[in-house]
Amino acid sequence: MSRQGTSKMGGFAVAALAVAGTAAVGLLALSTRASNGEAAMIGNPSCGTHPGNVGHGTALTPSGRNQVAIFAQGCFWGVEERFRKVPGVVATAVGYTGGHTQNPSYDDVCSHTTGHAEAVLVEFDPGKVSYDELLRFFWQTHDPTSGDRQGPDRGDQYRSAIFTFGAQQQSEALASRDAEQKHLADPITTQIKEAGPFWVAEDYHQQWDEKHGALSCPVPHRPRVK
């Protein structure tokens, strides 16, 4: 559903999404129904909400040996909900990054004049989930070939992107993209670039699905495979 001129609210039923190549991560099924027919958990209330002590463009400081990563896959409500259920992810927050203005608001980003993407900042314990495993989860939970859109959401804020911290993440992201491309029929359009300031989004955007007890965004589209 497009969110330009409309609300993000919506009661989309989400079918189970098979996530290939992520068995080591032990990911929870992305479904509105558990195997026993009971409603599955929305997000993960035990996961933290201040990754890297996030602020408005401030330096990020993860706890202890934890690391941070930034991913963009379209509507950040649904992206955050998915990543919060990955074992080893200890905290998430949604915000704006990759643009050229300072301290943008949601309305600013929706104007498509700031260059920012809706993104999710993830703090993770590398002893429990590796960056490479997070990358595999990233590729398998959206369409990385669709340019400035994900499903019905259109505009540069919905682009697929990976914002990296340091040379190691950059190298792993590029290698994972090349590996994923071998299986896809269309060119990957995912932007991969060094992370700049991350501007935490307004409070009402944070952990939206958990707060409202429903999955807000459409089932992620999958790319065409060879």
Is 129 within a domain?
yes
Query: What's 142's domain CATH number?
Result: 3.30.1060.10
Q: What is the pLDDT of residues 41-72, one digit of tens each?
A: 899 999 999 999 999 999 999 999 999 999 99
The number of domains in the chain is: 1
What's the mean per-residue pLDDT of the chain? Answer: 86
Is 219 within a domain?
no
Is 95 within a domain?
yes
Structure tokens of 182?
Answer: 């071998």
Is 12 within a domain?
no
What pTM did the predictor assign?
0.85
| Cβ 181 vs Cβ 187: under 8 Å | yes
- % pLDDT > 90, the chain: 78
Phi-psi region at 89: left, alpha or beta (left = phi > 0; alpha = psi -120 to 50):
beta
| Cβ 225 vs Cβ 121: under 8 Å | no
Q: What is the pLDDT of residues 4-27, one digit of tens each?
A: 433 343 333 333 333 334 333 344
- Tell me which residue range forms the domain holding 122: 23-212
Average pLDDT over residues 172-201: 98
Is 16 within a domain?
no
Is 13 within a domain?
no
Q: Which of 47, 75, 110, 217 is catalytic?
A: 75
Per the annotation, the verdict on 75 as an active-site residue is yes
